[in-house]
Amino acid sequence: MDGRIVARGVGVVSIGLGAMLTAAPRQASRLFGIRGYRHIVRLLGVRDLIIGVGLASGRSPRRWTRARAVADAADATLLTTGLAAGVFERRTALPGIGVALGFGALGFWLARRLP
């Protein structure tokens, strides 16, 4: 498995996710269980666009993969905190936490294997 190809693929997915979060924050906030926080969703979308472009460029893949992993860990923390405070919806926040933790672990694992 070529880690650089995987990193570029993660970048393309990040660009798609970032575009969706930025263009349709209301729908995305409902999808991820953080209804009413469109401004946060849009900010996360811009962050994902930047990281995605960095990953897709193929330049400094280890740094960009670490950035992606840290962003996913931050997303898991945000969702967990919001869920614990009763601000976010349980039925959609819990799967989001799982996805963020899974992709964060993948990112840290992949970053260790890149130049």
| Total-model pTM | 0.91
- Measured distance CA(27)–CA(24) in Å, rounded: 6
Position of tokens 């009413």?
36
pLDDT digits (tens, 9 = 90+) for 72-100: 999 999 999 999 999 888 898 899 999 99
Domain that holds residue 32: 3-112
Q: Is the pLDDT of residue 70 over 80?
A: yes
| Predicted confidence (pLDDT) per residue in 10-48, tens digit | 999 999 999 999 999 999 988 887 888 899 999 999 999
> What's the CA dihedral at 40, 42, 48, 53 to 10 degrees?
-150
What is the DSSP code string of 99-114? HHHHHHHHHHHHHHT-
Q: What Rg value do the Cα atoms of the chain yield, rounded?
A: 14
| Structural domain total, the chain | 1
Residue 79: CB partners within 8 Å, gap ≥ 6? 32, 33, 34, 88, 93, 96, 97, 100
CA 32/CA 35 separation, integer angstroms: 8
More confident residue, 2 or 54: 54
